[in-house]
Amino acid sequence: MPESSPWDGIAVPGADFNVRQVAGEMAVPCFWGRDTGGACLFILELQGDHTAQYRRNIVSVNGIEVDLRAGDPGRQRLVLTLEKQVDRDLFEGLCRTLASTLEHASDSASSLAVALAHIRRWKTFMSGRGGQHLSAEEVRGLFAELTFLLELIDHQRSTELAVEAWLGPERSHQDFIFGNTAVEIKSLSGTERSTVRISSEDQLESLNDALFLRIYRLSNLPEAPGARSLNDIVAAVQALIEDAQAIEDFDRKLVIHGYAPLPEYDEPRFVVSEVRSYRVDQEFPSLIRSQLPAGITKVAYEIRLEAIVGYECDGGDVFGRN
């Protein structure tokens, strides 16, 4: 289960604010805190004067107040204040990811740069906050798509092109299109029967030269080596992206998917127990728009995996390996 909120044990002060230090090895001390109004805070303690750097890179975020304040002599504090308690779970997730990111900073200046860049990314999540959590099936589906995205980054050697190829969140007929190849991603739980659900008459029909169906079986094994949560795999992709536009595009697609870095997505923790790839050709068993009787639309159906064994191919074929 997700751990309790880091602000639960911090009393509301009569003056200034009460804090508790964030665990972890960071170049600057970070703190969970509360102010006199009971608002939730996240604080970075910086050495030196960073006013000019802050003013050059300041960013406003709906629902979060960002302020650089004077601290003890020779110190400043970057204080993040949550304005709406309804967004507390999201704020916690964002602060935890920031704390993790700050472990890679080397000093106060780089820590402030990391924090301001991270806050800039928060704007996307805060603006897309819909109040609904992903279902268990949606969590598995997004995890499977991001698993393929990591593989595509490895094969293409370009995070920008790989993120551009991820079209599932934008309601494309297939989840990925790159070169002249389209790939539809499906996930199965470790205990699920061996059928996959095709949600429309367009998913297994493509104008591209090659169309593949790739299925990931995910097992919830939290203690297994390499097990990852949805938050973990999102962070793994984010760590590989350096281009600012690609970062913005990736975060926007996560929001369209309904994702925000909430503590709830620290579980379950999956391992990919099986991956199967199938080449979809004209003989592949499917219901497609071009062959439906007149008047039939919005078709959804299931395919038994044992019925498509003859179409299974090497996983490398999906990425263009002969």
The string of DSSP codes covering 98-142 is: HHHHHTT--SHHHHHHHHHHHHHHHHHHHHT--S-PPPHHHHHHH
Asked if residue 94 belongs to a domain, the reply is yes
* 89: containing domain: 17-127
CA 262 to chain centre: 10
pTM of the model: 0.79
| Domain final residue pick, 77, 99, 127 | 127
Bridge partners, 77 (sequence order)? 45, 69
Confidence of residue 157 (pLDDT cuts 50, 70, 90): confident
Beta bridge partners of 41: 33, 81
Does residue 11 lie within any of the structural domains? Answer: no
The answer to whether residues 157 and 289 belong to one domain is yes
pLDDT digits (tens, 9 = 90+) for 192-210: 778 999 999 999 999 889 9
pLDDT in tens, 167-182: 988 878 899 999 999 9
Poorest-pLDDT segment among 45-54, 64-73, 177-186: 64-73
The pLDDT assigned to 63 comes to 84
Q: What single letter denotes the amino acid at residue 112?
A: L
> Is residue 10 situated within a structural domain?
no
Long-range contacts of 131-135 (CB under 8 A, 24+ apart): 131/86, 132/258, 133/262, 133/264, 134/230, 134/257, 134/258, 134/259, 134/265
The residues pairing with 236 across neighbouring beta strands, listed in sequence order, are none
**Rounded CA separation 275/217 (Å):** 6
Question: What is the Cα–Cα distance from 269 to 247, expressed in whole angstroms?
Answer: 24
- Residue 304 belongs to some domain of the structure: yes
Contact 223, 193 (CB under 8 A): no
**CA dist 209 to 164, 178, 182, 318, Å?**
19, 11, 8, 12
Q: Is residue 67 part of a domain?
A: yes
217 and 296 share one domain = yes
Give the count of domains, the chain.
2
Question: Which pLDDT score, from 0 to 100, does residue 307 have?
Answer: 95
Helices then strands, counting H and E runs in the chain, come out as 7, 12
Range from 66-80, 87-101, 206-220 carrying the lowest mean pLDDT: 87-101
Residue finishing a domain among 85, 103, 127: 127
Q: What is the mean pLDDT of the chain?
A: 90
- Tokens standing for residue 216: 């990931």
Q: What is the largest CA-CA distance in the chain?
A: 78
1 band by pLDDT with thresholds 50, 70 and 90:
very low
